[in-house]
Structure 1
Amino acid sequence: MNQSFARRYRLTKTDEFSSVFGFRRAIRGKWLMLHYQPRPEAHTEARLGLVVGKKQLKRAVDRNRVKRIVREQFRLRRPSLPAVDLVVRLATKPSPLDGKMLADDFLVLLDKLQRPRPKRET
Structure 2
Amino acid sequence: MAASFARRYRLTKTDEYSSVFGFRKAIRGNWLMLHYLPRPEGDIDARLGLVIGKKLLKRAVDRNRVKRIVREQFRLRRSALPVCDLIVRLATKPLPLDGKAIAADINALFDRLCRPRAKRESA
- What's the TM-score once normalised by structure 2's chain length? 0.95
Per the TM alignment, residue 89 of structure 1 is displaced from its structure 2 partner at its CA by: 0.5
Contact 1:44/1:82 (8 A) holds in 2: no
* Structure 1 residues without counterparts, runs of 5 or longer: none
Other-structure match for 1:78: 78
Per the TM alignment, residue 101 of structure 1 is displaced from its structure 2 partner at its CA by: 0.1
Match status 1:50 vs 2:50: yes
Q: Deviations over 1:56-96 (max 9, x none)?
A: 00000000000000000000000111110000011100000
Between the aligned partners of 1:119 and 1:57, the Cα distance in structure 2 is 37
Please list every run of at least 4 consecutive aligned residues from structure 1 whose deviation after the TM superposition is greater than 6 angstroms.
Answer: none
Aligned length: 120
What is the aligned-residue identity percentage? Answer: 76
- What's the TM-score once normalised by structure 1's chain length? 0.96
Between the aligned partners of 1:80 and 1:109, the Cα distance in structure 2 is 13
Report the residue type matching 2:50 in the other structure: L
Per the TM alignment, residue 4 of structure 1 is displaced from its structure 2 partner at its CA by: 4.1
Between the aligned partners of 1:48 and 1:102, the Cα distance in structure 2 is 16
Report the residue type matching 2:65 in the other structure: R
Calculate the aligned-residue CA RMSD, in Å: 0.8
